Amino acid sequence: MTLIDLANPTRFLAFTARLLPWLVAATAILLAVGLYQSAMAPDDYQQGATVKIMFIHVPNAWLSMFVWGVMSLAALGTLVWRHPLADVAAKAAAPLGAAFTFLALVTGSLWGRPMWGTYWEWDARLTSVLILFLMYLGLIALWRSVEDPSRAARAAAVLTLVGAINLPIIKFSVDWWNTLHQPASVMRMGGSTLDRAFLIPLLVMAVAFSLLFLTLHLAAMRNEILRRRVRAMQMIHVAQAGQRAG
């Protein structure tokens, strides 16, 4: 089966039905390994045991931006190729992105209180991530407010591409402005500044959360395809009932 074959919703449903059990198993195993390594990681010499929050905060923060990136690619698929699976992918990803962004904000707050002395500060990094969260909620509201999925898809695609401007602002906010948030310490020029004792559990957790997103995204896409089939069949049902009455 080639990649283009998956662009057919029926083939996509059949393929993901076979793939999902393997993805669930891989996600569960990797999460278990990552959680074990996180629990066994040593305390940081400055932050003590609160460094363990990093192992869940950072993967969620990465995913909050990555999911918007996935939605931006899907938005291009909707606007340029008008492919139905592209807007299915975008719509299914939005609630997941909102959840990961929410978790990045909450775990960041819970890490900030003992380390910075405050749950929240209106600095560039925290504020730009909060804006990302509000944009996710706006997109979900847009999808729900327009009944015709294809019309909603085009409006959401434009909003998604405009919102993508926020991604480099989030990424470089810690370099462009003075913020409480620490600068990049993993994805940076010159390599990671993290010790291997922290870096390895962090990367395992990042891969585990990415697999979790992939699994949930494929499952949510299947649901969205089924929802559109229900809608189409209901319209046929109403039309048939109208013909019989007429």
The site for other proteins (CB under 8 A) is made up of: 10, 13-14, 17, 39-40, 43, 48-50, 52-53, 56-57, 60, 95-96, 99, 102-103, 106-107, 110-111, 113-114, 212, 216, 219-220, 222-223, 226-227, 229-230, 232-234, 236-237, 240
Q: Which is nearer to other proteins, 19 or 230 (CB)?
A: 230
168 CB contacts (<8 Å, ≥6 apart)? none
Q: Length of the chain in residues, anyone?
A: 246
- DSSP string of 114-180? HHHS-S----HHHHHHHHHHHHHHHHHHHHHH-SSHHHHHHHHHHHHHHHTTHHHHHHHHHHHS--S
Q: Which is nearer to other proteins, 18 or 190 (CB)?
A: 18
Angle value at C-alpha 171, between 113 and 130, nearest 5 degrees:
50
Beta carbon of residue 33, minimum distance to other proteins (angstroms, whole number): 16
Beta carbon of residue 149, minimum distance to other proteins (angstroms, whole number): 14
Beta carbon of residue 115, minimum distance to other proteins (angstroms, whole number): 9
Neighbouring CB atoms inside 10 A of 181's CB total 18
Q: Which is nearer to other proteins, 56 or 135 (CB)?
A: 56
Contact by Cβ (8 Å): 150, 229: no
Residue 46's φ and ψ, nearest 5 degrees, are -105, -45
Beta carbon of residue 81, minimum distance to other proteins (angstroms, whole number): 22
Beta carbon of residue 164, minimum distance to other proteins (angstroms, whole number): 23
Contact by Cβ (8 Å): 39, 141: no
Q: Which is nearer to other proteins, 188 or 237 (CB)?
A: 237
Q: Which is nearer to other proteins, 22 or 176 (CB)?
A: 22
